[in-house]
Amino acid sequence: MTILHSKTDPTMLARLKEMLSSSARADIAVGYFFISGFAEVADEISRLSKTRILVGRPDRPTLEAVAAGLHQARPLQAQLEADHRVRPSQRQQIRQNAVTDVSRDIGALPQTDESQSAVERLRQLVSAGFLEVRTYPREFLHAKAYLCWYEGHAEPGAAIVGSSNFTLAGFQGNTELNVRVTGDQEMEDLKNWFEALWEDSEDITDQVALVLDDCWAIKQYPPYLVYLKALYELFGRQLDAPQELPLEPFRQEDLANFQLDAVRRSLDMIRNHGGCYIADVVGLGKSFIGAELLRQLRQSYPLDGPPLIICPAGLVGMWEHFNERFGLGAAVVSQSRIAPPPQLVFNVETEEYDEAEPGQGINLAETYRNRGPVLVDEAHNFRNINGRSRGLRDYLERGDHKVILLSATPQNLGTRDIYRQIRLFLDETDHGLPIEPLGLEDYFNSA
């Protein structure tokens, strides 16, 4: 008997590959079968004349879980007896559940050449009749046994029995423990055990073949469906977002449908992240979208205070017109007039830090302390670290402001342009975005 796991020499996976390489056929009984595990031994299995894989019922809890929950012998025995009674009407669902598990696993695979090759190899073996898959319909199959059968050898075969499922994690990731079994009597006992389960199992080979034929690695999809899938992955979450606006849109004739869609999407972003960035190209009416957003936010967050609009000096007149037209009650401030935040200077006499005189211009924190949502037009002007951008960030960090950024050119020189702008409303790590690495700066540095 030999102990095998991911840190022995050889490892459990290396020993299994070695045994399969010198075998004629193999029988595998595991709770779970995943393509990631098959990919690790695909070359070795492809050389075998026959491989039979028996997987457990995916819809049954493990026996240990039942026992731990009940702590009583009688209910446990009743559960065991119930598990053995499988009604004919259940068998179809059991088969379907097992096939669904395989389909789900393929869908979660990384879409690489290696994954595609493994799926294609599995399909070829199934088509040629070299590989069969069955599911055990009775109690939960918790065994993990890899039976390798030799031909023209003094021994009938060898086996690995233990805790490693037919998965990449079972082979390499988890803390597993297995033993290598040899001997005529031991292998005969394992053979009888496997054959009894195999005879009492449900064949799902044909269903697995259909799933493989329909998966991304084999089936050829027309470009239009790929396009729709990409759209769904990008925007599918918005299908569940509220479609009604807090207020009726301002003068329907002034806002096109795509602009109203942008308002809805932006409100959803603001609810989830505290801000949004509207980066449409020139001519699509970002100003109309931004003005309507401010109007809707005043209704949704009436206690936040009236809006503040920050824009280049040349656009102050335009925004004052929008302010009046949409009835926003906003203050409009030229970007060039924003003063940097006061600097701390060490006072030798008091041995404390005092605020120095603020720089030239408007100190936003003092002048507009009771304002609510903030709209920044031509937001790319804040892509650099300077006194103006530090003054705006200091103001936004001091209050709970909903932030709207507008620009047709959010990126000028590199991705850090975008990073510095969205940091006006997103926290470095507590941002709620599904990104890796988690830190925004680390993420943008890797882009």
Q: Please report which helix (H) or strand (E) contains residue 96, including its range.
A: helix 88-108
- Check pLDDT > 80 for residue 80: no
Both tokens assigned to 375: 């709209």
181 lies in the same domain as 113: yes
Q: Is the pLDDT of residue 19 over 90?
A: yes
Q: Which two tokens stand for residue 256?
A: 């096109």
Domain membership flag for residue 346: yes
What's 123-164 look like in SS3? HHHHHCCCEEEEECCCCCCCCCEEEEECCCCCCCEEEEEECC
Q: Which of 116-120, 254-258, 292-296, 298-302 is predicted most confidently? A: 292-296
Q: Is the pLDDT of residue 47 over 70?
A: yes
Q: Residue 315 above 90 pLDDT?
A: yes
Distance CA(127)–CA(145), nearest Å, equals 25
Does residue 373 belong to any structural domain of this protein?
Answer: yes
Q: Are residues 298 and 208 in the same domain?
A: no
Domain span at residue 303 reads: 256-445
Quickly state the pLDDT bin for 5 (edges 50, 70, 90). confident
- The answer to whether residues 199 and 263 belong to one domain is no
Query: Which of 178, 140, 132, 181 has the alpha carbon at shortest distance from 58?
Result: 140
Nearest Cα to 172, choosing from 18, 42, 37?
A: 37
Kind and range of the H or E element at 267?
helix 257-273
- Structure-model confidence comparison of residues 58 and 292, the more confident one: 292
Please check whether residues 209 and 275 belong to one and the same domain: no
3-state SS assignment for residue 309: strand
pLDDT tens-place string over residues 388-409: 999 999 999 998 999 999 999 9
Helix (H) or strand (E) holding 212: helix 205-213
Q: What is the pLDDT of residue 320?
A: 97
Cα–Cα distance for residue pair 434/447, rounded to 1 Å: 15
Asked if the structure places residue 245 within a domain, the reply is no
Both 180 and 288 in one domain: the answer is: no
The total number of structural domains in the chain stands at 2
Q: Which of 173-177, 218-222, 283-287 has the lowest mean pLDDT?
A: 173-177
Provide mean pLDDT across the span 416-440: 93
Write the CATH number for 212: 3.30.870.10
Q: What pLDDT is recorded for position 1?
A: 75
pLDDT at position 110: 77
Residue 233 is assigned to a structural domain of this protein? no
Alpha helices in 285-343 (DSSP H): 286-300, 316-325
Question: pLDDT for 236-255, tens place per residue?
Answer: 877 776 667 777 776 656 78
Location of structure tokens 């039976």: 147
pLDDT > 50? residue 79 = no
Instruction: Give CA–CA dist 17/212, Å, rounded.
Output: 24
Give 364's pLDDT tier (boundaries 50, 70, 90): very high
Residue 209 CB burial class (10 angstroms; 0-12, 13-18, ≥19) = middle
For 209, the 3-state DSSP assignment is helix
- Residues 156, 261 within the same domain: no
The per-residue pLDDT of the chain, averaged, comes to 85
Distance (Å) of CA 108 to CA 35, 40, 101, 221: 10, 17, 11, 18
Q: What is the pTM of this model?
A: 0.57
Q: What is the pLDDT of residue 348?
A: 65
Place of tokens 């030239």: 360
Q: Which domain-ending residue is among 200, 220, 240?
A: 220
Q: Tell me which DSSP letter residue 331 carries.
A: E
Are residues 299 and 428 located together in one domain of the fold?
yes
User: Is residue 210 domain-shared with residue 275, that is, in the same domain?
Assistant: no
- Residues 31 and 157 placed together within one structural domain of the fold: yes
**pLDDT at site 397:** 93
In a domain, 185, yes or no: yes
Rounded to whole angstroms, the Cα distance separating 14 from 9 reads 9
Q: Is the pLDDT of residue 211 over 80?
A: yes
Residues paired with residue 203 on neighbouring β-strands, in sequence order: 134
How does residue 48 score in pLDDT terms, banded at 50, 70 and 90? very high
Q: Are residues 120 and 169 in the same domain?
A: yes
Q: In what order do the strands lie in the sheet with 131-135?
A: 2-4, 178-181, 157-162, 145-149, 25-30, 50-55, 131-135, 202-203
Q: Is residue 371 in some structural domain?
A: yes
Cα distance between residue 439 and residue 254, in whole Å: 40
- Residue 193 in domain: yes
**CB-based contacts of 302: which residues, under 8 Å, 6+ apart?**
none
Q: 214-244: buried (b, 16+ CB within 10 Å) or exposed (e) per residue? A: ebbbeeeeeeeeeeeeeeeeeeeeeeeeeee
Provide the pLDDT for residue 349: 67
Residue 84 has pLDDT above 70, yes or no: no
Q: Before 358, cis peptide (omega within 30)?
A: no
Instruction: Give the pLDDT band of residue 180 (cuts 50, 70, 90).
Output: very high
Cβ proximity of 419 and 445 under 8 Å? no
pLDDT at 193: 96
267 and 386, same domain (yes or no): yes
Q: Is residue 159 part of a domain?
A: yes
* pLDDT bucket at 62, cuts 50 / 70 / 90: very low
